[in-house]
Structure 1
Amino acid sequence: MTVIGIDAHKRTHTLVAVDDLGRKLGERTVVATDEGHLRAVEWAGQWPQVSFAVEDCRHMTRRLERDLLRAGHRVVRVHTRLMAAARRSGRQRGKSDPIDAEAVALAALREPDLPVAHLDGPTRQVKLLSDHRHDLVVERTKLCGRLRWHLHELDPELQVPSRGLRRYRVIDELAARLADLDGTVARIARDLLVRCRELTVQINALERELRDLVEDLGPTLLAIPGLGVLGAAMILGETAGAARFKSKHAYARFNGTAPIPVWSGNKVRVRLNRGGNRTVNTALHMAAVTQTRGIGPGKEYVDKLINSGKTKTEALRLLRRRLSDRVFTALLTDERACQPTDRPACAAASSAHTATHLQPLPVAA
């Protein structure tokens, strides 16, 4: 098996091929376009068995992975940490595109269980919409803070309810009060209020769209107590297919709910994992906190742990891990049930995905 490591950049991709013993076989640099990707596939054709390894930075390698997968090649993703370790242990010192590409290939040889890339499915639409909604919420929060300072300057006795600037009634009442005021501050406040209303309309529309997608793609996931539409959307978008994980333990390591072993000798100890996918971890935490308030079986489980000597924080972490296992099972169930011929949303997303990503590669002149 020949492994081709790729160091990807905006304008060029550098490829280095190594054999199964780690010996360098060849090097090539191509432009970061569809034509350049075709040249990379043609160059790799000189070896009978080829596997590609790319650094795990999908904002940079998404189009490259797509073209390689469409050409029928296997593509694995190498975490930056693994690539850096391979580069430090290499014979050639320094840092360059060929050195990095060779480090990616060597890391792929050393690590047998790297994530395997797949063509984007319907869950990518959920991730894009969820991320876009989050960005709009962050923008609205920043805008509301500035608006409140201007309102305080105009009328210190004006009381705006907490989170009231996301409600249409409160926005309309403030707009009526500001309509008769003169001055630059009042003008800026009116402009900010208009923008706040626009953002609220967009955020609410995105939430409704996400609700329809999540109800169709993840009904079992959505049925977990404490997990709402937005939390389920975060999990669906970030997981990008639960079948790519070999077990519930691997999924727990992915989302940061699996503790890290830190023991030596007879006493087994672990510490909190502060890594992993923090977006999925946040969704699991929100579901755990909701369950501790009496929605679902989490409260009884946490009370039992506290009575046995655990702190509330420790009990919440254990509940998050239990929820991770349940979420993993629900994701697998929904993925098996979500067939394009059975579910309208899956069919529509799958059709759009096929039309966008499964066109044949261009033929070289």
Structure 2
Amino acid sequence: MPTAHFCPIEHLVRKRVITIGIDPHKSSHTAVAIDAAGHKIGQRKFVVNAGTFGQLVRWCEPWSERRFAVEGAGGLGRTLAQQLAAAGEDVVDVPSTLSARARLLATGGDRKTDPADALHVAQVALFRADLRKVTSEGQSTILRLLTERHDDLVNERTRLTNRLHALLRDLLPGGAPTRLSADKAAALMKGIRPITATDNCRRDLARDLLADLRRLDRQVRDNEAQMREALAASRTTLTALPGLGTVLAARVLGHIGDISRFPTEHHFASYTGSAPLDASSGRHVRHRLNTGGNRALNSALHIIAVCQIRDGGRGQEYYLRKIAEGKTPAEARRALKRRLSNVVYRIMKRDQRHQLAAVA
């Protein structure tokens, strides 16, 4: 007897689920409802304001069995998608690339209107069972916001330090040493004795920059303290991995979010860009470097690999083994990154199982 395969469309037909596609914009959201056969049964445009969510929910009340498909649920549609998810609605994220392909294949070519876009978003959700389910924002979103703030603060500190270096170069013979800190700069500035009015101006500006540098140092410390609290709340064990400190762990968790959206470690490696791409042709089997994927996660894996190679341990042993096999240092480092991707995936899956068991 042949095995029955699950068909998402047949499942929706049996349940008579209505799919509501939403094309979000800054000033308006357009919603189109279709039945399980793909026929349009409703359409409405909502002005974006404080009452948009309530108006949308009231409009959808006739359809008790429904799900929402939001184009770009991580971009312009984030607020509405999160409101729907928080209300317990079934919401999926439709990438704009998929809705654009559906528009090109539709009757009428690539003519673009908001109702047509919303219809294509709903149709993509109807025929694709692999779309990402939108979940309510939690600790991972907090960690991502904190790491983005940390990057901004560090970049601003670097800019200020460079400007302070330029001023001290003109005030001190030989200038200031590298790795300039606020305390080092303050000590150097105590010995400055300006002679000209121009040097007086430079010293005053340097004092202002020093005050700004101290303020940024405090903000960076406060930001990292917030990261440690958020990591503790997430109950992650990632920080036990050598080379993975507070900031890197926060960045990894913030960008990954729900690890269950990756069915295997191979899918996860593809997302991080640590899995090489198959470039085989005929009898020639070869792979090439993957320059895609999430570059922030790829950079984090690179830093972990470099730290492990430097500090010794199992990571260094694996790296040296690859060198002994004839790989170049860059190839051996990429092999270690691929292995670390698997390790991060397994740790996060284990943490998730423990958290679910604790809740149960």
What is the alpha-carbon root mean square deviation over aligned residues?
2.5
Task: Sort the Cα spacing of 1:340 and 1:300 in 2 relative to 1 into closer, same or farther, 3 A.
Answer: closer
Moved more, 180-189 or 296-305: 180-189
Task: Sort the Cα spacing of 1:21 and 1:176 in 2 relative to 1 into closer, same or farther, 3 A.
Answer: farther
Deviation at 1:132, TM superposition (A): 0.8
Q: For the Cα contact (< 8 Å) 1:178–1:190, is it kept in 2?
A: no
Task: Sort the Cα spacing of 1:340 and 1:175 in 2 relative to 1 into closer, same or farther, 3 A.
Answer: farther
| Post-superposition CA distance 1:61-113 (Å, at most 9, x none) | 23211221233321111223222222222223222322322232233234321
CA–CA separation in structure 2 for the residues paired with 1:210 and 1:297:
28
Deviation at 1:289, TM superposition (A): 1.0
**Residue 301 of structure 2: aligned partner:** 284
Larger radius of gyration: 2
| Post-superposition CA distance 1:305-324 (Å, at most 9, x none) | 22223222222222112111
Aligned ranges 1:33-182 → 2 under 5 Å: 33-92=49-108, 93-158=110-175, 160-165=176-181, 168-177=182-191
SS at match of 2:274: coil
Task: Sort the Cα spacing of 1:81 and 1:59 in 2 relative to 1 into closer, same or farther, 3 A.
Answer: closer
Task: Sort the Cα spacing of 1:118 and 1:111 in 2 relative to 1 into closer, same or farther, 3 A.
Answer: same
Task: Sort the Cα spacing of 1:25 and 1:265 in 2 relative to 1 into closer, same or farther, 3 A.
Answer: farther
Task: Sort the Cα spacing of 1:200 and 1:34 in 2 relative to 1 into closer, same or farther, 3 A.
Answer: same
| Post-superposition CA distance 1:23-67 (Å, at most 9, x none) | 333321112234211222222333343221112352432321122
Deviation at 1:115, TM superposition (A): 1.2
Deviation at 1:123, TM superposition (A): 2.4
Moved more, 95-104 or 224-233: 95-104
| Post-superposition CA distance 1:197-252 (Å, at most 9, x none) | 11011112212332343245354211111111111110111111212322222222
SS at match of 1:293: helix
Out of 269, 273, 280, the residue aligned to residue 290 of structure 2 is 273
SS at match of 1:81: helix
For structure 2, the residue ranges without an aligned partner over 5 or more in a row are: 1-16
CA–CA separation in structure 1 for the residues paired with 2:136 and 2:193:
52
Task: Sort the Cα spacing of 1:57 and 1:50 in 2 relative to 1 into closer, same or farther, 3 A.
Answer: closer
**Residue 311 of structure 1: aligned partner:** 328
CA–CA separation in structure 1 for the residues paired with 2:22 and 2:164:
48
Deviation at 1:268, TM superposition (A): 4.1
**Residue 10 of structure 1: aligned partner:** 26
Taking structure 1 as the reference length, the TM-score comes to 0.84
Q: For the Cα contact (< 8 Å) 2:73–2:134, is it kept in 1?
A: no
SS at match of 1:183: helix
Out of 28, 32, 51, the residue aligned to residue 44 of structure 2 is 28
Q: For the Cα contact (< 8 Å) 2:144–2:251, is it kept in 1?
A: yes
**Residue 349 of structure 1: aligned partner:** none
Q: For the Cα contact (< 8 Å) 1:76–1:116, is it kept in 2?
A: yes
Task: Sort the Cα spacing of 1:82 and 1:296 in 2 relative to 1 into closer, same or farther, 3 A.
Answer: farther
Taking structure 2 as the reference length, the TM-score comes to 0.85
Higher normalized contact order (CA 8 Å, seq sep 6+, divided by chain length): 1
Task: Sort the Cα spacing of 1:253 and 1:2 in 2 relative to 1 into closer, same or farther, 3 A.
Answer: farther
Q: For residue 227 of structure 2, what is the amino acid of its counterpart?
A: L
CA–CA separation in structure 2 for the residues paired with 1:136 and 1:340:
38
Q: For residue 138 of structure 1, what is the amino acid of its counterpart?
A: N
CA–CA separation in structure 1 for the residues paired with 2:258 and 2:179:
35
Deviation at 1:329, TM superposition (A): 1.5
CA–CA separation in structure 2 for the residues paired with 1:58 and 1:179:
55
CA–CA separation in structure 1 for the residues paired with 2:166 and 2:66:
61
**Residue 254 of structure 2: aligned partner:** 237
Task: Sort the Cα spacing of 1:169 and 1:339 in 2 relative to 1 into closer, same or farther, 3 A.
Answer: farther
CA–CA separation in structure 1 for the residues paired with 2:309 and 2:207:
42
| Post-superposition CA distance 1:92-143 (Å, at most 9, x none) | 3222322322232233234321111111112222222121111110111112
**Residue 10 of structure 2: aligned partner:** none
